């Protein structure tokens, strides 16, 4: 019995050395997934806000420019560091009287250059005023 027990000495140290990097990698990937998911939600909120501005302005070029500016301001105010390198593109869809706003950016990252880019597009009808008859 003693001979069998003596052969297991140091086994837990070897296991710890082998499994710790795997555990750290799984933890790292889980946290990075959460950060990317959060960045995607922030991009969605920015796209909805920019689309609201573009739709309320009847989809005019000035309203589209305001929507892009408002989207970048909103990303900085709401997103903080959760979404960086933000671009907002508001375009009219003339055949359907709608606007499309696309927000792209990079979510927060643990290791520089590792986080994927996130992108969200929102479409909605242009709001027009119609007086009562």
Rounded to whole angstroms, the Cα distance separating 20 from 118 reads 30
Query: Taking 70 as the threshold, does the pLDDT of residue 59 lie above it?
Result: yes
Q: How confident is the model at residue 44 (pLDDT cuts 50, 70, 90)?
A: very high
Q: How confident is the model at residue 4 (pLDDT cuts 50, 70, 90)?
A: low
**Which tops the pLDDT comparison, 8 or 100?**
100
Query: Taking 70 as the threshold, does the pLDDT of residue 2 lie above it?
Result: no
| Full set of structural domains in the chain with CATH | 12-125 (3.10.450)
SS3 99: strand
Which pLDDT score is estimated for 13? 77
Whether the pTM exceeds 0.85: the reply is no
Which pLDDT score is estimated for 8? 64
Which pLDDT score is estimated for 15? 78
Positive or negative: CA dihedral 52, 65, 119, 42: negative
Which pLDDT score is estimated for 3? 56
Positive or negative: CA dihedral 43, 44, 49, 50: positive
Average pLDDT, the chain: 87
Tell me how many degrees the CA angle 54-72-113 measures, rounded to the nearest 5.
130
Rounded to whole angstroms, the Cα distance separating 101 from 43 reads 11
């Amino acid at each position: 019995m003693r001979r069998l027990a003596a052969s297991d000495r140091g086994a837990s140290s070897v296991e710890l050395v082998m499994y710790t990097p795997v555990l750290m990698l799984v933890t790292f990937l889980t946290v990075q997934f959460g950060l990317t998911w959060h960045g995607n939600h922030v991009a969605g909120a920015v796209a909805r806000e920019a689309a609201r501005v573009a739709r309320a302005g009847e989809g005019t070029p000035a309203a589209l420019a305001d929507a892009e500016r408002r989207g970048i301001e909103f990303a900085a105010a709401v997103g903080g560091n959760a979404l960086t390198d933000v671009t907002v593109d508001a375009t009219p869809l003339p055949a359907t009287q709608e606007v499309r706003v696309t927000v792209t950016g990079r979510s927060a990252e643990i290791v520089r250059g590792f986080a994927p880019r996130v992108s969200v597009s929102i479409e909605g009808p242009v709001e027009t005023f119609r007086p009562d008859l």
